[in-house]
Structure 1
Amino acid sequence: MAGYSHNKQSHAMRLSRVEGQIRGLQHMVEDDKYCIDVLTQVSAATGALQSFALSLLEEHLAHCVAEATQKGGPEAQAKVKEASDAVARLVRS
């Protein structure tokens, strides 16, 4: 079971809003909107997606990583490394 399962509906709604923002960006470009206005919306969409990613990461740590560390062993080490790699990817983006 995924760590985010209990918030699945909330996550789906957040992603739908991001999808709408991206669609809005596409329309802005098609309509030749002012560059700065487009960039402002890119920033908003990026922020929304980053916020979603951080929420998902928090749930992963609280559920998947915590459960694995309680069990210990190589699976725990793998989950911690996996989470660390995910944080590194988020920081780079």
Structure 2
Amino acid sequence: MTSNPFRLQPACSGRRSAITEPGLKKHSYGFKELAVLYFPSIAPASASIRLKAWIKDSPQLLDQLTETNYHLNARVLTPRQISLITVAFGSPF
């Protein structure tokens, strides 16, 4: 019996591995998703507020992010934006 190449994978399998593996996978992240990685012990909404405050308090990072079409109400971060944030603040792992 051969395996079916069209067999669906569980919906959460990719997302779970992105969080449990060391280092960030290179893909877009939701802002709240990234914030929870940096602040795992607080509520997701509070984590988002805190990460946004960190970004606002770093003018150089905010300028770099603005060049990538980032705005403070962004809900999705591109891989480039994630890279800039992790360079500025270090890896969340």
TM-score when normalising by structure 2: 0.29
Query: Structure 1 or 2: larger strand share?
Result: 2
Query: Structure 1 or 2: larger helix share?
Result: 1
Q: Based on CA coordinates, which of the two structures has the bigger radius of gyration?
A: 1
TM-score when normalising by structure 1: 0.29
